[in-house]
Structures are given as structure tokens and as C-alpha cells.
Structure 1
Amino acid sequence: MRARLSLGKRGSVWTTAVRTPVGACSAVLLVLVIALSVLAPLFWGDGAAVVDTDAIGQGASAAHPFGTDALGRDIFLRTLVATRLSVGLAVLATVIGVGAGVVLGSLPAVLPRWAARLLTSAIDIAVAFPGLLLALFFAVIFGVGTHGAVLAIAFAMAPAFARLVQTLSASVAGRDFIAAARVSGVGRIRLLARHVLPNIGEPLVVNATIGAGSSLLAFAGLSFLGIGVQAPDYDWGRLLREGLDGIYVTPVAALAPAVAVVLAGLAFNLVGETVAAVVGVRSRAARRASGPLPAPRPAVAEEPADDAVLVVENLQVAFPRAGGWTVPVRGLSFTVRAGEAIGVVGESGSGKSLTALAVSRLIELPGVVTADRLEFAGTPVEQASDRDLGTALAMVFQDPMTSFNPARRVGRQLAEVSEQHHGLSRRAAFARAIDRLTAVRIPAAARRARQYPHEFSGGMRQRAMIGMGLMGAPKLVIADEPTTALDVTVQRQVLRLLARTREAEGAAILLISHDIAVVSQTCDRMLVMYAGRIVEDLPTGSPAQHPYTRALLATTVDLDTTRDEPLAVIPGRPPEPDQVPDGCAFAPRCPLASERCRTEDPALARAGDGHRVACWHPQVSVLSGRSRKEGAA
């Protein structure tokens, strides 16, 4: 039976969000506010307008829960009826303010440079003033009354949204697809409308929802000051002012509109938080997939050894998409024994890093990980505790600069591992962090532990990342491209460090790399991945049989490579994860492909002692001459 390790729920993300405490409260309050806005004037509009000279200025009673005003009108009914005007004006002001802010924030991208600087400076000055002060200023300009208050609040909130649009636009403007659009000749206005604004729409919606609550409070403030809604109309701010006039006689009269303002403002803010949570999920997956997960393609599993640290059988990683699933990792089976070093090679997009994240239980929703068997140190991964994984499995990520928190000192980040997983005190954990930095050959470890990641060189950050993995007693170290972006000397130091870690700690190593020569020099065994599958599993130094492995070997450059000949390349490109053909995925690029290769997908089967290959036409080849010579040396 297949185990599902990370399950994305099939229900709507909105349903999931509403089930949270914040989402439930926001939904209840929002439904209440909308219902009162629509129904209250219909049911209680006439009752709220009834003047009763015999009940002027009364306190709370059974007939009037919050008392009556100076004309004997029921304050509770008037508060309910005022919901429509109060909420409607706040929403209208928000729409105008957001629209004006988007326009002002977008104009610098299309205006001449001098005009853009002038407009940006004006926005910066406006943002420096409190919003209510700007609203009062604009209220004087637009005049007293409902229309003036709406415009005043809208233009008071516009500068903040303009600044937000400028900031978000700047974060998007430096991306490659924007540069590509510019190179292709897309005009400024079209670039802004088609490429920039659609990519910043979600945070704008979230901030607009929260901003509606602020507009509601600002509108109530203007009406309270007498420059908002005028008689005979009334909103919560006007009712609050009338209630405060007699607060020493009937203090309860001010309670109903005050509570209404607070609850409605809270509703808008909680809805904003819920929308933000939903947007965060939808940014990772626009829609949930429908239908069952596809069955993994078969592979001959190895017989797990008694000392196996990691056992993987038919591992599959799937992500939902509209109308189905995208499966970038398709039925992997392999075993890592204690103290063994295994390299995983393949082109970008072959599923190497996803495999490492899956066995580390780091695939996040909405991704789904399934496997017939996935065990670490004899325990199913889905049942292992975070403490067990955190101490026995170490992950060295590809870019340590993004893996370290730039705002915290390196030593404290390493110490946090022992504090959380080993229960050490703050001082003892920091002392162990210094010891681990020393173990990975970082000079002056005590001083370096008190420095920030940006004060480390690239090689030192990578060594510090390895040191973080050694804070426990790892049985397996997964190194995902640990030598990427490092010069050759530092690469060699990092690889030697991993080898020493293997010898000193007895830890198994799972090394992910693009460089097949590096793997052939440092690992006992090599897994070759293509289009989400292992196409060959062979001991290092054994003859390669799969055409893809031989093609990778042919592209390896060494000192014996003839400079007069063009560099070897693999024609074509790997298939997209959702466009894998029915037959062998490598067939469109393989010179040996036959009709059978295009229609039948070969299973990973045994091809010798410790050797497995998935190919209908395996041929014998050997590893590069460089690896053989260096291995002999």
C-alpha cells in the first residue's frame, strides 16, 4: 500500500481558510455586516425614523436596548440602519483611493525621468503625513458633506497605495521576463499593463481589503468631527457624536455606534488576513488538481541491506495543476547504506533536488509525496519525529547565502539546532556551534561564530552549512549542489570536507551534482536521473550502458580534450514534467531510439552486479579518462 507523506487537501483553499479561527471569525463578521447593510434599511428603516417626544433622551430599557436620542428615536435601530451608509461609503472611498494609488504609483514608469522624479517626491512627502491629517486637509478642499468626505479619504489613502505600487513594481521590474519583454520591443504602457501590474495584483488586493477597515474608521472620524455625513443622513460617526453629547446623562447611547465601528473595522481587517493567507496558498498553486494520482512506472527495487540508512521504493512527487497532476519525480527506487557515498547526476529539471526534499520531508503543500516504502534509519519517514530527522539527517542546500538568516549571527543559527533538537542550554549550544565550525576547518571559529553570513566568503558559508548539519550525529548527509558557484579550489575543499565527514562521523553521503566527473571521483555509486526517473544505477568506475549516461560522459571536458574539435553536446532538451512521452523519455534525443523506445517505457532492471539500467538498447561504455586517472592517483 502506498504511503502518502504530504497531502494537499482536495477542498477549496477558501474552505480551508474559513475553517481556521481567524477565517471563521472574519467570515461570520463579514456576513453579518453585509446582511445588515442589505436588510437593515428594509426591515428597520421606518422604525429608526420614528420620532417619539415621550421618550426623548431615555437610557437603556427593554423597548430601547441602547436608549433614545434627542428626538426619541431608537439608537439601536438607527445603528443597524446606518450600516449600509457607513460601509458603503468606506468601500467607495477605498475603491477610489486604490485606483488613484495604482495610477500614481504606475505613472513614474511611463513618464519622462524628470516628471517621474517630481511625482515620486510628491508621493514621498504625502506619505510622511498621517492619513487622518491628509483627510482633514482634503476635506477642507472638497468641502463639508458626504461627497467631500469620500474624496478626502480616498485621496488621503492614495499616496500609501502609490508607494506600495512603486515598491512592488520595482521588485518585479528587475526580473528576466521583464527584460525579455523590453528587448522584444514592448512599449512602456503595455509592459506596465500586461507584465507588471498582473504580477503585483495579489498584494494590492490584500492591502485594499485591510485599507477598507481604515477607511471606515476615518469616515467615522470625519462624521464625528462634523465634516462628514450631514443631516438628515446619518452614519456611525454621526451617531457617535450625538451619543457623546449626552454621555454624562445616558452613556449607553454612544456604545452602539462605537461597537459597530469596532466590529466592522475588525471584520475588514480579519478578512484581509484571511485573503492574505489564501493568496499565499494560491501563489504556490492556482488550482487543486482533480482525479487520482497517476500510478508510478515500475522499477526493480534493490534488496535493502541490513545496514541501510535510507530505503526508497517507487517514490513519486506530484503537484496539482488545472485538470490533473504534474509528476516531476516518477517512481524512484534506491537504497543508501551506512557510510556509503552516492552521487545523483542529471540535467536541470531531472528531479534531483525534489528527490532530496522528498526524502527529507521538506515538500510543502500542495505537493504530494507517495511511496511504496520510504524509510530512514529503519523508521518510515512519515512517522519519524522532527527531532529524529533533525539530528540524524543533515541537509546542505545549494546556496548557503539564502539558507542562512542574514539578520542572525552564524553561531546562533547553528546553536539553534542543538537548542531545539538536543535540549542544550543557550551557552552549551553555542559552544558546540564553535566546535562544529572548528571541525569544518573554519579559522578563528570563536570569532567567526559571532559574525553574520555576509561576512563569510562563499566557501566558508558552505562549510558553515555543513557544520550546521554536523550539530547532531547525522547518519545521512544530503548535499544538494554544494559546489555550485564556487571556484575550483574551494570546490575541492568542500568535497574533501564531505569525505572527512563521512570518515569521521560514519555518515552516508547523498551528493547531488551536475558534474558527473566530480561524482565519479568522490562517490561509490552513481544514480543517473532523466525526466524524473533513474535511468541508470551503477558503481563508480563501471562501464555505463545507458545512452544518456554515455552522452553525459562525452560532454565532460578534461585536459585531454582536443581543443580543435567542437565541444560535445546532447541535442534537444529534456521534456517538461507534464509533457513526458509514453515511451522512453530520452528517445527523442537518443541516436539509438527505435519504435519500441517511443511506445514502451523500459523499466529499471538489473544489468549486472550492483548495476541497473532502464534501456531497450544498452551498450557498454566506460567513465572518462580523467576520472580513471585521478582515481588511480
Structure 2
Amino acid sequence: MARRRGSVWVAAVRTPVGACSAVLLGLVVALAVLAPLLWGDVAAAIDTDAIGQAPSGAHPFGTDSLGRDILLRTLVATRFSIGLAVLATAIGVGAGVVLGALPSVLPRWAGRLLTAVVNIAVAFPGLLLALFFAVIFGVGTHGAVLAIAFAMAPAFARLVQTLSASVAGRDFVDAARISGVGRTRLLVRHVLPNIGEPLLVNATIQAGAALLAFAGLSFLGIGVQAPDYDWGRLLREGLDGIYVNPAAALAPGAAVVLAGLAFNLVGETVAAVVGVRTRPGKRAAGPLPAPRPAAAEPPADDAVLVVENLQVAFPGPHGWTVPVRGVSFSVRAGEAVGVVGESGSGKSLTALAVSRLIERPGVVTADRLEFAGKPLADASDRELGTSLAMVFQDPMTSFNPARRVGRQLAEVSERHHGLSRRAAFARAIDRLAAVRVPAAARRARQYPHEFSGGMRQRAMIGMGLMGEPKLVIADEPTTALDVTVQRQVLRLLARTREAEGAAILLISHDIAVVSQTCERMLVMYAGRVVEDLPTAGLPGAARHPYTRALLATTVDLETDRDEPLAVIPGRPPEPDRVPAGCAFAARCPLATDRCREEDPQLEPTPDGHRVACWHPHEPAVGVLSGQSREEGAA
């Protein structure tokens, strides 16, 4: 883990922002350490023969009113200026963490009072607060440090409160609270460690702000006092003689700007490493792995979707990870096809690849990927927007919470059909009514949070029907819905298929839902289709041991409640650790040495199935449901 984190830092420093921040910060630190040692005495030496000189070869930025070299004084002031800014930041961050965390520990009334005080303080500009505290703590270095620190603390406390609130509702915090963990220990052990990274990023950026604030106070004469000096005091002295020597203010001003820029760029670099505003960068993953040859059945003439040897790969520090490898299938017009499998089997990634929603740095390759008789890569967004509909797993996150539902549906027709704003909204109301949303005209003017889960899912299907879809991809559309609403959503998909003539690609963990809704079922395991079979003969027609094991775990009204529930032993392999041979071999009771060494291809069978197995089950005529389940569990 340490090596991986180190490689992330190296990659961040190699970016333009990271390289610039590293150079600037290194220069600032080097000057802070070395400048007082090298030029401290020379910068403090008074030369009455060189008072107020203009820039020259001996004094690039001239001299001050006592004949001291301005450039050397600026370089020597680096240690004092940076040290005071870092000290003020440390005090301010510490005070902010305490103020932000105390409401979680104090009694409710005291916590609310402290929160109100922090909110009032945040409402005031930071510079005004710094001036106010400077009056309280007095003029001078110590007063300026405390003034800037306490002016910074309220904003940091608000950040801590916000981040703590986002973590406090997590399940692991509730579990710790139920187990009897006290408030203070809960805060220190469970809350603060999980918000440390954004606090670190903000603290780095705040150091630059503290540097500018300190320079401002010294410039106003209430910060550093003689004989000490920092960049702000040098800037004031330079401006006092700006008509005689304009360059005198240039050196401390440039130092303040460059040091502040260094702190801010370091904050950006830290943000990229810890995950805040992370941008995918180039990774040395090596050449893309060659797709595995996969046999594909000839698609039907009326196929609306043809997928042959589909592969989805993502780069990593140690090579490519291929979670979808060699998937081949087709969907005929008006056909309902289900895709089942455990979590991580590649179902959703396959759907996203078909929908062209795999984002960089992911790479999608295929021998053939056609939609409506046209290569998917050549299809325009307009064509996909009117012919392909996607129903996502969680409609709450798929709808924009800040916009009304009707306007979001209408946007589809405005962009893809060229309808006017009024006509598009009228069509949105019509589509909501078509998917059985009650009071569609009123509901179209409501926000997503005003819809129930089932109603949001219907609205999502309605969005897909704003065009004339030839294919509807439903990715776990019944997840987290109760049985009644689940049945309504499935019926709605069936009605959509009948009314619009659209094909359905239904992705689900629930094999019972797929068997009741679809005509054909694709079973995926470890990124591959291991069986393609009709649902009419289930469960006795299943040939692959994995399919039969899934069916064995399905519970229905005839399941013996006195017997333990069937489970599939073991777990699927990680996408970057798929073993040689059949990926299911480690969990399969029928596995042989051949299964562990050779990976079977998806081959057609005499009864119209396709199965990738060296030892497929041979179903007998009239096999009872219970018997086949016992064999699958075995």
C-alpha cells in the first residue's frame, strides 16, 4: 500500500501542476533554510553611502533608507514570513477542528449554541475578523499570528462540521454507537480519520491565504514590528519610496505572490492524490491485452443489437484489468433478454459499453458492435438518444435533484426531436401518464425527491419513452423496491415492449425475475457469458453448473423452510486475478484438471443453448424442479 501511495505521489508530481508546485515549494523551503545563514549579516548591514539607491549591478532592486540591499532582505525574510504563516495556519486549523468537533461531544443545547456562534463568525469577511482580533491581541508579531489563526478558525470549523455530518450517518458509525462507544472516542476513532484528507487539502490552501493575510497586516503596520521584518513590512517600506525607486516594492511583492502560488499549487497536487478533484492521468499499463477469441452465433436478420467478442479494460499501475472479456450475444427486435450473475460478473459494465457510457481511461473493443444495423461507434448522440433508452439502477441519483421531473424529460425531446419548450413539456406529461404516473400534469412540475422510489423508476422509464426506442436497457430496475412496486415496474416494461415494439435487455441479480419476464437469459460469470438459454425450460434445462447453482439458491413458495438455504461456496475471482482455465472451476463440484487448465468457449448445443463448460449437464426429459435443484446444489 505504501509503495502504491508513493507511486501516486510520483505520478502527481509529474503533472504540470505538480511539477510547478514541487519546484516552487522546494525553492521557498530552500530559501527559508539557507537565506538567513548565507546573507543574514549582509542584509542587516547598514551602509550610509548607499541610501536609497536605484537598481544597479550591485543591488538589483536598489537599497532602502538605511542603505540595505532590498533583494537580500527579501530573501532573508522568507524564513520569518513562511514560519509565521505556517504557525498561524497550524493554530487556526487546530482551533477549527476543535470548534467543529465540539458540537458532537457537548450537550445538544451547548452544541447548537456553538454552531450558531461559528455561523455568525463565518458571515464576516476574514480580513475584518483578522483586524478585529488584532485589536484584541495587540499590535505585533504574536498578536498578528493569533489574529490570523482565529480569523481562519470559523471557516475551518464549518468545514469540519459539514464533513462530520456527512460521516456521522454512515452505518459503521451507527454500529459503533450501538456497541457503546462514547462520543469522544467515536469522534476521534471513527469520524475524524475519515475526514482527514479533505482537511489536509484545505489546510494546505489556507497556508497560502495566511501568508497573504500576514503580509497585509504587516503592510498596515499592525503586524511585524521593527527590528524584525517580513515581506509585508518590506512591501510597505518599498511603497513609501515608490516615487524614488519603484523597483523597491517589486521584490517583496513578487515573493508574496510566488509563495502564495506555491502553497495553492501544493494544495491542488495534494487534492489530486487524496481523491479530491482527481483527474484520470496516463498510466503505464502497457499494451492493451489481446481479446480472447470467442465463438459467436450468427445474428438474426432482425437483430437490433449485435455484440461479438466485447472487451472492457481499465489501466492500472500493474497492467490492464479486464472485467468484461469476450462477451458475444445478440438481441432481436421486440425480444426480451435477461442478464444474470453475481455482483462483479460484468453485467452492468456490458450494458454501459453497449450504451457508450464507459468513460476514460476505460477502453472498449469488440469484433462487432452494432445497434440497429449500424456500427455503434458511428452512431451519433442524436440517433442513440431517440433509439436507445437506459433505465438506471438508482433513479434518485439519475435525476437532477435541482430540476423538475417534467423539464428533465422534456429536455430529451428538445435536444433530439427539435420540439419547442411547450411541445416537449406536453410530451413529457403524456409519457408520464403512459407509464402510469398519477396526476401526470401535476407530477411533472415536482422535483425528484417528491416522488416515491417506484414512481421515480416509472419516470425514468418515461424518459426512455420520450423518443421511439428500439432497445431499452434496464440495469437492476427493481433494486430496493418492495415486491408490489417491483411487479408494477416489470409489468410496465412488458407493456412498453408490447406498445413500442422495443427490445428489452434486463440486468438483474434476481434470476426468478428474469425467468418470468424474459424469453432468453444470459448467465455471466467473471466477465464472460457462460450460458445462453431460453427461460421456458427452467430450471431443468440449465446445463452450466453455475446456472444450476444460481437456480438452486432461488427461494419460492415451495422451498422447504426447515432446510438451510442453498448457497454457492466460495466467491467469484477478482477481475485482475482471473485464474487460468474455467473461472468457475474453484467453486464447481464437477471440475477436473482440464477445467483448471483450459478455458471452454461458448459453444452451441443441439437444443439451441450455448454453454461454456467442459462437463455440461445433460437434462433428461421430465426432470422435476426439486430434483434439478438438488443436483445443482450438489
TM score, norm. by length of structure 1:
0.82
**Residue number in structure 1 paired with 2:4:** none
Candidates 428, 433, 451, aligned match of 2:428:
433
**Range 109-118 or range 434-443, more displaced:** 109-118
Aligned partner of 2:542: which letter? Answer: A
Give the one of 564, 572, 575 matched to 1:575: 572
**What is the CA–CA distance in structure 1 between the aligned matches of 2:131 and 2:624, rounded to whole Å?**
77
1:338 maps to 2:336:
no
Question: 1:167 aligns to what?
Answer: 162
**Which shows bigger deviation, 582-591 or 604-613?**
582-591
Q: Which runs of 5+ in 2 are unaligned?
A: 1-6, 627-634
Which of 450, 457, 463 in structure 1 is aligned with 2:452? 457
Asked if 1:497 corresponds to 2:492, the answer is: yes
**Residue in 1 aligned with 2:616?**
618
Cα distance in 2, alignment partners of residues 364 and 13 from structure 1 = 23
Change (3 A) 1:573 1:385: farther
2:631 counterpart residue number? none
**Residues 54 and 445 of structure 1: CA distance in aligned 2, closer, same or farther (over 3 Å):** farther
Whether the 8 Å contact between 2:84 and 2:145 is mirrored in structure 1 is yes
Alignment of 1:476-555 (within 5 A): 476-542=471-537, 543-555=541-553
CA distance in 1, matches of 2:207, 2:50: 36
Task: Tell me if structure 1 keeps the 8 A contact 2:337–2:519.
Answer: yes
Distance 1:564 1:195, change over 3 A: closer
Aligned to 2:87, which of 88, 92, 110? Answer: 92
Correspondence for 2:200: 205
Distance 1:575 1:192 in 2: 36
Note the aligned Cα RMSD (angstroms). Answer: 4.0
Instruction: Note the C-alpha offset of 1:442.
Output: 3.0
- Closer, same or farther in 2 for the Cα pair 1:613/1:269, shift >3 Å? same
Shift of residue 593, structure 1, vs aligned partner: 3.9
Q: Report if aligned partners of 1:511, 1:519 keep a CA contact under 8 Å in 2.
A: yes
Judged with a 3 Å threshold, the aligned counterparts in structure 2 of structure 1 residues 345 and 61 are, in CA distance, closer, same or farther, namely same
Matched with 1:3 is none
For residue 511 of structure 1, give the secondary structure of its aligned residue in structure 2: strand
Contact 1:531 1:574 in 2 (8 A): no
Determine the structure 1 residue equivalent to 2:126: 131
Q: CA deviation at 1:50?
A: 5.8
CA distance in 1, matches of 2:464, 2:112: 49
C-alpha distance in 2, partners of 1:471/1:243?
Answer: 67
TM superposition shift of 1:249:
6.5
| Shift in alpha-carbon separation, 1:252–1:108, aligned structure 2, 3 A | same
Alignment of 1:265-304 (within 5 A): 265-280=260-275, 290=285, 299-304=294-299
SS of 1:82's equivalent? helix
Deviation at 1:60, TM superposition (A): 7.2
What does the per-residue CA deviation read over 1:16-43, in whole Å, with 9 as the maximum and x for residues that have no partner? 78656x6677567656655665676677
Q: Distance in 2 between matches of 1:65 and 1:477?
A: 72
Alignment match, 2:604? 606
- The residue aligned with 1:392 is 387
Distance 1:441 1:109, change over 3 A: closer
Normalised by the size of structure 2, how large is the TM-score?
Answer: 0.82
For residues 557-608 of structure 1, the C-alpha deviation after alignment (integer angstroms, 9 at most, x for no partner) is: 445x155543642242432425544444434544444454455443322123
In the alignment, structure 1 segments of 5+ residues that lack a partner are: 1-10, 627-633
Instruction: Please list the CA deviations of residues 257-286 of structure 1 after superposition, one character each: whole Å capped at 9, or x if unmatched.
Output: 445434443443344344434443797999
CA contact (8 A) 1:67 1:253 kept: yes
Preserved CA contact (<8 Å) 1:541 1:623? no
Partners of 2:350 and 2:203 in 1: how far apart? 40
Distance 1:250 1:508, change over 3 A: same
- 8 Å Cα contact 2:12/2:269 also seen in 1: no
> 1:285 and 1:177 mapped to 2: Cα distance?
30
What is the Cα deviation at residue 357 of structure 1? 1.8
Secondary structure of 2:93's match? helix
* Number of corresponding residues: 614
What amino acid does structure 2 have at the position aligned with 1:477? V
Alignment-derived partner of residue 630 in structure 1: none
Bigger drift between 592-601 and 184-193 goes to 184-193
Please give the per-residue CA displacement for 1:167-194, whole angstroms capped at 9, x wherever unaligned: 2233223323344555677776665555
Displacement of 1:241 after TM fit? 2.3
Larger RCO: 1 or 2 (CA < 8 Å, sep 6+) = 1
Pairing 1:417–2:419 present: no
CA distance in 2, matches of 1:364, 1:110: 43
Identity of aligned pairs, percent?
Answer: 82
Task: Tell me if structure 2 keeps the 8 A contact 1:546–1:614.
Answer: yes
Distance 1:624 1:53, change over 3 A: farther
Query: What is the CA-CA distance between 1:538 and the residue it aligns to?
Result: 0.9
2-side partners of 1:13 and 1:471: how far apart?
Answer: 47
| Structure 1 residues 418 and 78, CA gap change in structure 2 (3 angstroms) | farther
Deviation at 1:114, TM superposition (A): 7.8
Structure 2 CA distance for aligned equivalents of residues 364 and 181 of structure 1: 37
CA offsets per residue over residues 372-418 of structure 1, 9 Å max, x none?
A: 44343455545554444434322110111111111111122223334
Matches within 5 A, 1:397-412: 397-412=392-407
Question: Which region of structure 1 is more displaced relative to structure 2, 40-49 or 376-385?
Answer: 40-49
Give per-residue Cα distances to partners, 1:520-555, cap 9 Å, x unaligned. Answer: 232221101223322210122142212222233344
Evaluate the alpha carbon distance shift between residue 186 and residue 32 of structure 1 in structure 2; reply closer, same or farther with a 3 A threshold. Answer: same
Quote the offset at 1:511 in angstroms: 0.6
Residue 356 of structure 1: which of 340, 351, 371 is its match? Answer: 351
How does 1:148-187 map onto structure 2 within 5 Å?
148-180=143-175
Q: Which moved more, 1:575-584 or 1:44-53?
A: 44-53
Counterpart CA distance in 1 for 2:301 and 2:83 is: 70
Most deviating of 379-388 and 164-173: 379-388
- Is residue 237 of structure 1 aligned with residue 237 of structure 2? no
Residue pair 2:549, 2:568 contacting (<8 A) in 1 also: no
Contact 2:8 2:273 in 1 (8 A): no
Contact between 1:555 and 1:567, CA under 8 Å: does it hold in 2? no
CA contact (8 A) 1:26 1:270 kept: yes
- Alignment partner of 1:586 is 2:581: no
**C-alpha distance in 2, partners of 1:70/1:424?**
74
In structure 2, the CA distance between the partners of 1:121 and 1:458, relative to structure 1 (3 Å rule), is closer
Stretch deviating more after TM superposition (46-55 or 331-340): 46-55
Greater shift in the superposed pair: 24-33 or 313-322: 24-33
Question: Aligned equivalents of 2:386 and 2:267: distance in 1?
Answer: 39
- Could you say what secondary structure the match of 1:608 adopts? coil
Amino acid at match of 1:467: G
Q: Structure 1 residues 426, 70: CA separation in 2 closer, same or farther (over 3 Å shift)?
A: farther
Aligned to 2:3: none
